[in-house]
Amino acid sequence: MFEAFTLSFRKDISLVELPQNKEIILQSSTRKLAFSQPASGLQTALKTLYDTGGTATELKQLVQQADGIYGMLKFHSYLQKFISLGWVCHSVLPFATAVPQVWEYEFSAPVVDCQEQFFTLSRFAYLHQVEGQMVLESPLSKAKVILPDWRGVAIVAKLSQPQSCSTLVSEIPSITLEIVQQFLSLLLATQMLSQETYKEVENATLAQWDFHDLLFHTRSRQGRHTNPTGSTYRFLGKIEPQPVVKPPMSKTVIQLYQPNLERLKTADIPLTQVLEERRSIRNYHSCPIAAQQLGEFLYRSARVKNLINREYSNRPYPAGGGLYELEVYPVINTCVGISSGLYHYNPIAHQLEQLCERTKDVEALLKDAWGASGQQDMPQVLIVISARFQRLSWKYEAIAYSLILKHIGVLYQTMYLVATAMNLAPCALGSGNADLFATAAGTDYYAESSVGEFMLGSQSTDENKPEASG
């Protein structure tokens, strides 16, 4: 099988000839191999791998003719080395090319039994267009498969149902059994197929991964790809970054109560007590939370403490890069002193900007939260947290969304602790409707939509009658 593939260097391997030193240098981003005074057959084989590619048999014949049997054996071991370094693409021309996505990845193709076996595409494999070519990828694979010919795409489409080699040969025009065999071997080598005898659902670990979760996990962490990751600033000079805080959304504002932090530093209950007493509470006192309490809660958990160079800020919770992409939207059901409706929290002015009254969408947001929390009390205040996505993705590549979810976690915990210290009833939620929120708040779904929800209200026990502190 190995002999049948056309082998070529990955596009990110460079080949430099130094005639004065009679040297050929091959280089990846992490490694350099120098061949000093290479024999003529070896030189030609290396250049063929770099240019057009060739099968292992063709390349070895070429070296043997020029350099003899020992030259060929030496080349064979070099070829093995290139493959084990993840430098070599394997192609079934013109249908498919497997390109390693990582270094040190060894492509190893199994023999396909065309008599007995049936093949199905893995549910984790996905086909998409990249720079004008169809590319098959999978979070299970350390390689991607480029499909330049439509018949390759047609084979992949057929593989949504179990297929034998012979059905593929009979249904795809102008394709031989040998090509189908190689194509399937390449898909098996790159973990794109699940054979009918091996069902992914039978593997309890994989069965519990959603496709999108596993893809997100593999692409937002390092290890399974060599894509750019982290603070790459790829839009610098091309697109303006998002501002440090969102410009005001409405002229109808409510100035919120600002607690006396100096007094709270001594009056607050100790940290250990807050941590030990923190719990999720989904029932409320009949007397709703008051505007003063909501003001104190937002000030202590989400305000801008100070701006740095008008680009970054400090807030009570930490955030990657100091960028603070999260926005806080209180949805008021019942609150003494604030009428029911949807508001945006301005974290610099410490104001609520009213976006709308209690519309059908506002009602639906509250009802969703009530459903997600076991249909107990309707939240008195539902705090919807949205993300201005481009505030992070302008700077960070591959990890922007995973950072947002981490930020939601630290904000939730800050809100839980502040609510506990204030004797309020807090409860985080794990799901919410981002489309509904975008419609209610009038945001562009792709620029800013909801990523978290947090319920807040007055505590129901008599001894904890809600009272503003601070």
* Of residues 114, 116, 110, 164, the one with CA closest to residue 1: 110
Looking at 123-131, 235-243, 276-284, 326-334, which segment touches ligand FMN (CB under 6 A)? 276-284
Question: What is each CA distance from 343 to 152, 159, 214, 292, 329, in whole angstroms?
Answer: 53, 50, 35, 16, 5
Nearer of residues 68 and 409 to ligand FMN, judged by Cβ:
409
Q: What span, in angstroms and rounded, lies between the C-alpha atoms of 393 and 383?
A: 24
Task: State the alpha helices, DSSP H only, in 223-340.
Answer: 261-267, 271-277, 291-302
Provide the token pair at 295.
Answer: 């003001």
Please tell me whether residue 279 binds ligand FMN under the rule CB under 6 A. yes
Nearer of residues 221 and 279 to ligand FMN, judged by Cβ:
279
In whole angstroms, the minimum distance from the beta carbon of 430 to ligand FMN comes to: 3
Please tell me whether residue 427 binds ligand FMN under the rule CB under 6 A. yes
Please tell me whether residue 456 binds ligand FMN under the rule CB under 6 A. no
Which runs of E-coded beta strand occur in 13-57? 14-18, 23-27, 32-36, 54-55
Q: What span, in angstroms and rounded, lies between the C-alpha atoms of 388 and 310?
A: 17
Residue 198, amino acid = Y
Residue count of the chain, please give it.
470
Tell me 264's DSSP state. H
Handedness of CA 294, 295, 300, 303 (dihedral sign): positive
Q: Binding ligand FMN by CB under 6 A: which of 429, 438, 441, 456?
A: 429
In whole angstroms, the minimum distance from the beta carbon of 278 to ligand FMN comes to: 7
In whole angstroms, the minimum distance from the beta carbon of 333 to ligand FMN comes to: 16
Q: Binding ligand FMN by CB under 6 A: which of 119, 412, 437, 454?
A: 412
Please tell me whether residue 154 binds ligand FMN under the rule CB under 6 A. no
Nearer of residues 225 and 282 to ligand FMN, judged by Cβ:
282
Please tell me whether residue 121 binds ligand FMN under the rule CB under 6 A. no
Please tell me whether residue 163 binds ligand FMN under the rule CB under 6 A. no
x-or-dash string of contact with ligand FMN, 362-401, rule CB under 6 A = ----------xxx---------------------------
Contact 28, 7 (CB under 8 A): no
Q: What span, in angstroms and rounded, lies between the C-alpha atoms of 126 and 128?
A: 7
In whole angstroms, the minimum distance from the beta carbon of 385 to ligand FMN comes to: 11
SS3 at position 196: coil
Residues that bind ligand FMN (CB under 6 A): 279-280, 282, 372-374, 412, 427-431
